[in-house]
Amino acid sequence: MNVLVINAGSSSLKYQLLDVDTREVYAKGNCERIGIEGSFVGHEELGGEKQKLEVALPDHKTAIKHVFDILKTIDKPIDGIGHRVVQGGWYFPESAVVDDKVLAQVREVAPLAPLHNYAEADVIEICRELFPEVGNVIVCDTSFHFNMPEKAHRYALPRDVVDKYHVRKYGAHGTSHRYIWRATNEFTNGQTHKLVSCHLGSGASLSAIEDGRDLETTMGLTPLDGLIMGTRCGTIDPATVFYLSRVGGYSIDEIDTMMNKQSGLLALSGHSDSRDIEDGAHAGDKDCQLALEMFYYRTSQLIMEMAQAMHGFDTMAFSAGIGENSDEMRLGVVKELEWMGVKIDEEKNKVRSGEIRDISAPDSKVRVLIVPTNEEYMIALDVQELLGK
């Protein structure tokens, strides 16, 4: 089955056309700067070179039409379309085939993720109009976390407020964490039971997964909570918002922008890219060194919170941009955990590969893996399962 996977953001649209059965990727690309001057489409086909097409993309409807026009040239039928939806809210504990009701619900919960859900809903609507004969499926980042125990997802706020405004821990990166669990379980021949999944990239989160069930995660009502990230502050005292408003004179929107786009590793070091921070630290930049120390410290702290949710862990898996590619940051995190027996083989840790691999030291009490994530494949599997029914 050939599935087109679409991931729409506020000013971008990523796509990938793949065969679910063979996992062959026929084409992939991204539409960037939608609604902004200088927009373009980056496109790559199996065995071909990357292309950059500078085209006007005033809106997502124009962008998706360009994508469909490009895909027509490779002569592969589209049997189903899968949409990554950031926020499923209180409606979607699992993926769902799109109908009018589902689309309306994606829009209804959009205030929880306004930069993404509205754009994705528009794209879904366009796909249904252009190709009414092709089924669409939504795969929500929050679904994997939906059934966490109430003690994990509930906030200690008044019940009437919680119920009226649907305030709870929703988490994010659920599709990635679900794939990491699946790949880890297969790689270890079913010997993984308590996994701490570490999705470490510009956006970062951890998940505690026991025998396939998510028990805890680090992101909260929004993706701002938890780890220190590229430009997000992660967990801080909530009263910081009140203080900055009352004493600093910042508006709520200004604080929102500050904490989401001007904080995290960027605020600590002047860089949001981990590679630049590592280079700065090697050159003696004290701010970069502190940023790394804080990242290791906070990540290891929250790994232990995930372990507590499962009363221990037998495996941890590094994934996403930092987790897969930075041997230095993996080592830094694990060094913080050596006190409780987590160790890696430093030579294995330095090996670059696109394959899942074990980097544990022989005497490590916990298996440590690198698991390249594949959210597109996970989404495509859901499309195949649901449309097959």
Q: What is the pLDDT of residue 40?
A: 85
- Comparing CA positions, the residue from 42, 31, 40 lying closest to residue 8 is 31
Structure tokens at 116: 């993404």
47 has pLDDT over 80 = no
131, 134, 234, 244 from 203: Cα distances, Å = 33, 32, 10, 24
Say which of 21, 79, 100, 141 is annotated catalytic: 141
Active site residue 21: no
Min mean pLDDT across 14-23, 70-79, 289-298 is at 70-79
Per DSSP (E only), the strands in 54-177 are: 80-85, 96-97, 135-140
| Confidence at residue 387, expressed as pLDDT on a 0 to 100 scale | 92
- Confidence band of 62 (pLDDT split at 50, 70, 90): confident
Residue 178 is labelled as binding a ligand:
no
Q: Which tops the pLDDT comparison, 90 or 74?
A: 90
pLDDT tens digits, residue range 93-114?
999 999 999 999 999 998 888 8
Beta strands in 119-193 (DSSP E): 135-140
Domains 2-140 and 191-375 agree in fold: yes
Q: Where are the domains of the chain?
A: 2-140, 191-375
pLDDT tens digits for range 111-155: 888 878 888 898 899 899 888 999 999 999 999 999 999 999 999
SS3 of 357, please? strand
Q: What is the pTM of this model?
A: 0.91
As a whole number, mean pLDDT of residues 259-263 equals 92
The response to whether 49 counts as a known ligand-binding position is no
Residue 31's pLDDT band (boundaries 50, 70, 90)? Answer: confident
d(CA 158, CA 169): 15
Mean pLDDT of 316-325: 94
Q: Using 50, 70 and 90 to split pLDDT, how confident is the model at 292?
A: very high
Q: Identify the residue with better confidence: 43 or 205.
A: 205
pLDDT of residue 273: 87
Whether residue 203 is annotated as binding a ligand: the answer is yes
Asked whether the predicted pLDDT for residue 168 surpasses 80, the reply is yes
Residue 55 has a pLDDT of: 84
Would you put residue 241 in left (φ > 0), alpha (ψ -120 to 50) or beta? alpha
| pLDDT above 90 (res 42) | no
Whether the CB-CB separation of 15 and 28 falls below 8 Å is answered with yes
State the pLDDT confidence band at 59, using cuts at 50, 70 and 90. Answer: confident
Look at residue 345 in the predicted model and tell me its pLDDT: 94
What is the C-alpha to C-alpha distance for residues 30 and 33, in angstroms, rounded to an integer? 10
Is 7 assigned a ligand-binding role in the annotation? yes
- pLDDT (mean) for 347-376: 94
Please report which confidence band the pLDDT of residue 7 belongs to, taking 50, 70 and 90 as the band edges. confident
Mean pLDDT of 65-75: 85
DSSP state of 344: B
Domain 2-140 CATH (choose: 3.30.420.40, 2.30.40.10, 3.40.50.20, 3.40.630.30) = 3.30.420.40
11 pLDDT higher than 80: no
Task: Find the helix or strand (DSSP H, E) in which 71 lies.
Answer: helix 60-72
- Asked whether the beta carbons of 208 and 217 are under 8 A apart, the reply is yes
| pLDDT above 80: residue 219 | yes
What is the mean pLDDT of the segment spanning 189-194?
96
Which pLDDT score is estimated for 199? 95
Instruction: Encode pLDDT of 263-289 as tens digits.
Output: 999 999 999 888 899 999 999 999 999
Residue 202 among known ligand-binding residues:
yes
What is the rounded average pLDDT for all residues in the chain? Answer: 92
pLDDT at 226: 96
The predicted pLDDT at position 113 comes to 83
Sheet holding 96-97, edge to edge: 51-53, 40-45, 25-32, 12-19, 2-8, 80-85, 135-140, 96-97
Inter-residue contact 230 to 320 (CB < 8 Å): no
Confirm or deny that 388 is annotated as ligand binding: no
- pLDDT value at residue 63: 87
CATH 3.40.50.1010 fits 191-375, yes or no: no
